[in-house]
Amino acid sequence: MTATSGARATAVPRDLPTGLRHYIGGAYRDSVDGATFEVSDPVGNAAYATAAAGGPEDIDLAVTAARTAFCDGPWASMPARERARVLVRIADGIEADDERLAELESFDTGLPITQARGQARRAAENFRYFADVIVSLHEEAYRVPGVQTNYVVRKPVGVAGLITPWNTPFMLESWKLAPALASGCSVVLKPAEFTPLSASLWPEIFAAAGLPAGVFNMVNGIGERAGQALVDHPGVPLISFTGETTTGQTIMRSAAGALKGLSMELGGKSPVLIFADADVEKALDSAIFGVFSLNGERCTAGSRVLVQRPIYDEFVRRFAERAERIVVGPPGDPGTEVGALVHPEHYARVMDYVAIGKAEGARLVAGGVRPAHLNTGNYLQPTVFADVTAEMRIFQEEIFGPVVALTPFDTDDEAIELANAVRYGLAGYVWTNDLRRGHRVAESIEAGMVWVNSHNIRDLRTPFGGVKASGLGREGGARSIDFFTEPQIIHLTLGDPAPPRFGVTRTS
């Protein structure tokens, strides 16, 4: 079987699963009502598999299995070292499946194969990292000599609901699965409906690593039905969500009634500020990679590039020239730099933004069209708009594709004002060789994460997350463990207890 992609065909991974099922209590299952949905690839845009479409009954079965494993199984109370051993075996399993995983991910999402390979490695690293975290966590104690010893017990919260998006799906699933499992929680994962393929590898990886049955459960399905049922289930005390801001708002409203714990990793429209004193060559390479890698479907993409006026015209010219030369092609081709966008609906949305940009008067200097050699599939030549102003929708709204807005600025204050002139606040990037300016500007950007003289390169220990409409809470390092555990303080009296004595003074 092959899927066509304009000028050339792209290979379909061997043994491609064509029926994706739920995984509940250690067994594969269809939906209780038998419902399914079709899954298509972004090159052929043809259904290659059907997936079980979960609903409230399937979620209930999964939560019940997870609850049973949590309350009755060994996982939640297992010594950290033992749990860490399982996590390390999971990491080994992911690495052993590296090539297969990359093939499936690239086929299902449209990510270039070379970039999909990086995702598998990163997913394995998440498990290895959280194995290290749980064995090295310090414990808190507060002593009042002779009077009290107070110590904090960290308890896994219970059944964690994990809801994930379609961009780099396996890696983003690992991002939640690793700390949730490391903490001793049981989980119900609801993968994104556009890209459920790579998630089908989890059950075997987990089982082979010795994760007890019922600790990991997965329900496929449509967000508004399966995802919503997970959010609404009374047996799920916390939800870790990554996805669009509007979906996050819906989930927060739904979770309010039961006061559920929420971690929200939402959308972004991150600025790249390039000052005239910067290493412009490096800034150019980094800005291009930052917005066009992963097909531009990256939450931390630097999708607004603000450039200081003295270097602006030349920068725009060179940025456009490079964007036109980016190799757009079949995701499975190792020479491809930008692949196919995930789904025709998303492709149509990105193309709408290209039309909006033109209509609102931005100067289109590169791309904006399907490459001539690719007459089918969700392909777009990397698109560069120059002279974009802060009022324009292409400056304000997340496009989540290979489309960038370039805007000139004069002063530091103007750059900061432009950087902060959107509702999002996920990431920011500053390019300058002036150390003081680098610090000052970085700290003035309203964003959860700022890089100076770099694109997004992240140490797993650092806090990840956004401010404003980009999210609530932080993941990363011990912060993820904090989210999936509840601290309990035990106050232990050391001396003789001497409680005030009520009811002893009145005699009649």
| CA–CA distances in Å: residue 160 to residues 62, 66, 216, 292, 326 | 11, 9, 10, 33, 41
**293 belongs to the binding site for ligand NAD (CB under 6 A):** no
- DSSP symbol at 198: G
Return the number of the residue (227 or 371) whose C-beta is nearest ligand NAD. 227
Return the number of the residue (30 or 397) whose C-beta is nearest ligand NAD. 397
Residue from 228, 456, 480, 485 binding ligand NAD (CB under 6 A): 228
Cβ–Cβ contacts within 10 Å for residue 20, how many? 21
Q: What angle do CA 342, 113, 174 make, to 5 degrees?
A: 70
Catalytic-role residue among 105, 173, 193, 265: 265
What's the closest the beta carbon of residue 299 comes to ligand NAD, in angstroms?
3
Residue from 244, 360, 414, 482 binding ligand NAD (CB under 6 A): 244
Residues β-bridged to residue 389? none
3-state secondary structure of 261: strand
**243 belongs to the binding site for ligand NAD (CB under 6 A):** yes
Residue from 224, 345, 352, 417 binding ligand NAD (CB under 6 A): 224
Interactions with ligand NAD, residue window 60-89 (CB under 6 A): none
Interactions with ligand NAD, residue window 448-507 (CB under 6 A): 466, 471
Residue 412: name the closest of 273, 315, 282 by CA.
Answer: 273
Cβ–Cβ contacts within 10 Å for residue 134, how many? 22
Stretch that binds ligand NAD, among 94-102, 262-270, 384-392, 491-499 (CB under 6 A): 262-270
Return the number of the residue (164 or 295) whose C-beta is nearest ligand NAD. 164
User: How buried is 147 (Cβ within 10 angstroms: 0-12 exposed, 13-18 middle, 19+ buried)?
Assistant: exposed
Interactions with ligand NAD, residue window 184-203 (CB under 6 A): 190, 192-193
Dist. CA 469–CA 322, nearest whole Å: 32
Residues touching ligand NAD: how many (CB under 6 A)?
Answer: 30
What's the closest the beta carbon of residue 266 comes to ligand NAD, in angstroms?
5
Residue from 104, 123, 159, 163 binding ligand NAD (CB under 6 A): 163
Residue from 42, 165, 203, 368 binding ligand NAD (CB under 6 A): 165
Q: What is the amino acid identity at position 264?
A: M
What's the closest the beta carbon of residue 190 comes to ligand NAD, in angstroms?
5
What track of x and - describes contact with ligand NAD for positions 96 through 115 (by CB under 6 A)? Answer: --------------------
Residue from 23, 75, 107, 166 binding ligand NAD (CB under 6 A): 166
**164 belongs to the binding site for ligand NAD (CB under 6 A):** yes
User: How buried is 325 (Cβ within 10 angstroms: 0-12 exposed, 13-18 middle, 19+ buried)?
Assistant: exposed
**299 belongs to the binding site for ligand NAD (CB under 6 A):** yes
Contact 397, 245 (CB under 8 A): no
Stretch that binds ligand NAD, among 34-42, 43-51, 222-230, 271-279 (CB under 6 A): 222-230
H or E, element range at 148: strand 148-156
**238 belongs to the binding site for ligand NAD (CB under 6 A):** no
Contact 445, 427 (CB under 8 A): no
What's the closest the beta carbon of residue 462 comes to ligand NAD, in angstroms?
13
Residue from 250, 270, 383, 456 binding ligand NAD (CB under 6 A): 250
Residue from 183, 220, 242, 295 binding ligand NAD (CB under 6 A): 242
Torsion angle (degrees, nearest 10) of CA 438, 441, 447, 449:
10
Q: In what order do the strands lie in the sheet with 471-472?
A: 27-29, 22-24, 216-218, 186-190, 159-163, 238-242, 261-265, 471-472
3-state secondary structure 89-107: HHHHHHHHCHHHHHHHHHH
**347 belongs to the binding site for ligand NAD (CB under 6 A):** no
- Is residue 265 part of the annotated active site? The answer reads yes
Residue from 265, 333, 337, 446 binding ligand NAD (CB under 6 A): 265
**169 belongs to the binding site for ligand NAD (CB under 6 A):** no
Return the number of the residue (284 or 394) whose C-beta is nearest ligand NAD. 394
User: What is the DSSP secondary-structure string of 22-83?
Assistant: EEETTEEE--TT--EEEEE-TTT-SEEEEEE---HHHHHHHHHHHHHHHHHSSTTTS-HHHH
**268 belongs to the binding site for ligand NAD (CB under 6 A):** yes
Residues that bind ligand NAD (CB under 6 A): 163-167, 172, 190, 192-193, 223-224, 227-228, 231, 242-244, 247, 250-251, 265-268, 299, 398, 400, 426, 466, 471
Active site residues: 265
